[in-house]
């Protein structure tokens, strides 16, 4: 059964296939480090969550065997990513969140670890990113980042 996680003021509903509702609530209530959850929609990847910076996290169970219909929607309504992507929180009611393609030779597990470490330590993290208009750097303030999804 998928659960829905909503973070702070970000309008996105993230479908989490595992672990259980009780497990997620327990992790959020006791963890001193960021929590990493596997999400299946609207993007398929790993959600790195700093509950310290998020302000609030809602974990919602579907009623009576209902299945959430989130798999047809993509933040920003763009095409599915073809290279590793880092998706960051969107301002409330913006209709889209920023997604940044990182180097295709970067291991997504490494990016997840680097983001979680920056969140835990409250440090800055810089990733090389690519866009249709060129290349650049994404500088992340781990202390202030509520979440990121790496897929």
**Which pLDDT tens digit goes with each residue over 68-88?**
555 444 454 455 555 678 888
Candidates 77, 97, 98, 72; CA nearest to 10 is 97
Q: Are the C-beta atoms of 9 and 54 separated by less than 8 Å?
A: no
Quick one: 37 exposed, middle or buried, by C-beta within 10 A (0-12, 13-18, 19+)?
buried
- Which range of 60-74, 76-90, 125-139 scores highest in mean pLDDT? It is 125-139
Residues in the chain: 151
Rounded-to-integer distance, Cα 80 and Cα 44, Å? 10
Which helix (H) or strand (E) segment is 69 a member of? none
pLDDT digits (tens, 9 = 90+) for 38-50: 999 888 899 999 9
pLDDT of res. 47 = 94
Q: Mean pLDDT over residues 111-116, rounded? A: 94
User: Which residue, chain included where needed, has tokens 């929590």?
Assistant: 35
Q: How many independent structural domains does the chain possess?
A: 1
pLDDT of res. 33 = 86
pLDDT of res. 66 = 54
Domain boundaries, position 27: 3-150
Output the pTM of the full model. Answer: 0.82
Q: Are the C-beta atoms of 15 and 4 separated by less than 8 Å?
A: yes
Q: Mean pLDDT over residues 14-35, rounded? A: 84
Q: Mean pLDDT over residues 48-68, rounded? A: 80
Rounded-to-integer distance, Cα 127 and Cα 111, Å? 9
Quick one: 118 exposed, middle or buried, by C-beta within 10 A (0-12, 13-18, 19+)?
buried
């Amino acid at each position: 059964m998928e659960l829905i996680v909503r973070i702070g003021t970000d309008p996105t509903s993230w479908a989490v296939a595992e672990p259980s509702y009780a497990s997620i609530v327990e992790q959020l209530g006791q963890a001193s480090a960021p929590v990493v959850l596997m999400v299946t929609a609207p993007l398929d990847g790993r959600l790195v969550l700093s509950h310290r910076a998020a302000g609030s996290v809602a974990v919602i169970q579907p009623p009576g065997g209902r299945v959430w219909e989130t798999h047809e929607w993509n933040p920003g309504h763009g095409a599915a990513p073809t290279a590793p992507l880092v998706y960051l929180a969107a301002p409330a009611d913006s209709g889209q969140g920023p997604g940044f393609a990182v180097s295709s030779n970067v291991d997504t597990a490494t990016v997840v670890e680097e983001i979680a470490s920056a969140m835990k330590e409250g440090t800055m993290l810089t990733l090389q990113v690519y866009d249709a208009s060129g290349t650049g750097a994404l500088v992340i303030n781990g202390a202030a980042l509520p979440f990121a999804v790496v897929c």
